[in-house]
Every structure is written in structure tokens, then in C-alpha cells.
């Protein structure tokens, strides 16, 4: 079974930065794509960012492009989401996820099978 554990969330003021981490275990991490999603209260879970199996190709939601950076360290079985210039609308629970198979890019939550427990990010105005 694949296990994903997010960390690094917290409370920051608008304009601040946070780096989220996701530790993966249970399968060969380097063979699979990874994604980040977020869910605000009362809203659907939405795509944030993803990267392919080796971290070379990335994809971002328009709302975070230019502010967030997704990366991975396959040697450490870790994926990261660096969040800069945070806005109150970034407030959400952030989840990392990986598909059942495949190392390419995906942005639909329905293409992901394994999910972490989420970490809360709160951005004050």
C-alpha cells in the first residue's frame, strides 16, 4: 500500500511563504507522477500543481502559476510545494497525491488513487 504524509502547513500573512512536504512510501517513488490539490471549506477539491516521474515536466493551475513551485527529490522519496506570495484565497487543506500508475502529468483528481491526509494552510489578510 502507498502512504503519503503531508507536512509544513501553518498560518501566514498575505505575501508570505510556506513550503509543503510530502513523504511517500510503499512503492517505487521515482516511477510515478505526483500532484498537489487543495480544498477550501465548502468548495470542491481543486488541482494545484503536478510533476512527472523525474520532476522535469511540471504543470500549474492558473491561480498559482508564477507563485508556487513543485519539485521532487526521488532519492529521498519526497515531493515539495514551495508557495510564495500567498494570498487569503490560497487558504485550504493541501493534499499530495499519486496515480495508480503512470509517470506523466495529470490534473484531474479522478486520475489519482493515493492521497495523503492533508495539511492546513491559512493565509491571513
Q: Are 104 and 38 in contact (CB under 8 A)?
A: no
Contact in structure between 46 and 38 (CB atoms under 8 Å): yes
- What is the predicted pLDDT for the residue at 29? 75
Predicted confidence at residue 113, as pLDDT, reads: 92
The pLDDT assigned to 101 comes to 80
Position 62 scores a pLDDT of: 98
Report d(CA 64, CA 59) in Å as an integer.
10
CA distance 87 to 79: 22
Query: What's residue 26's pLDDT?
Result: 81
pLDDT, block means (10 residues), the chain with 125 residues: 94 98 85 94 96 92 98 93 98 95 84 96 97
Amino acid at each position: 500500500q502507498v502512504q503519503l504524509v503531508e507536512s509544513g502547513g501553518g498560518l501566514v500573512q498575505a505575501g508570505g511563504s510556506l513550503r509543503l512536504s510530502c513523504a511517500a512510501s510503499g512503492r517505487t517513488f521515482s516511477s510515478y507522477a505526483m500532484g498537489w490539490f487543495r480544498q477550501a471549506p465548502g468548495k470542491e477539491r481543486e488541482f494545484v500543481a503536478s510533476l512527472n516521474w523525474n520532476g522535469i515536466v511540471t504543470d500549474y493551475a492558473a491561480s498559482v502559476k508564477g507563485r508556487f513551485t513543485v519539485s521532487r527529490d526521488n532519492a529521498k522519496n519526497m515531493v515539495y510545494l514551495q508557495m510564495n506570495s500567498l494570498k487569503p484565497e490560497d487558504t485550504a487543506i493541501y493534499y499530495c497525491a499519486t496515480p495508480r500508475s503512470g509517470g506523466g502529468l495529470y490534473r484531474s483528481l479522478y486520475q489519482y488513487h493515493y492521497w495523503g491526509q492533508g495539511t492546513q494552510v491559512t493565509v491571513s489578510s
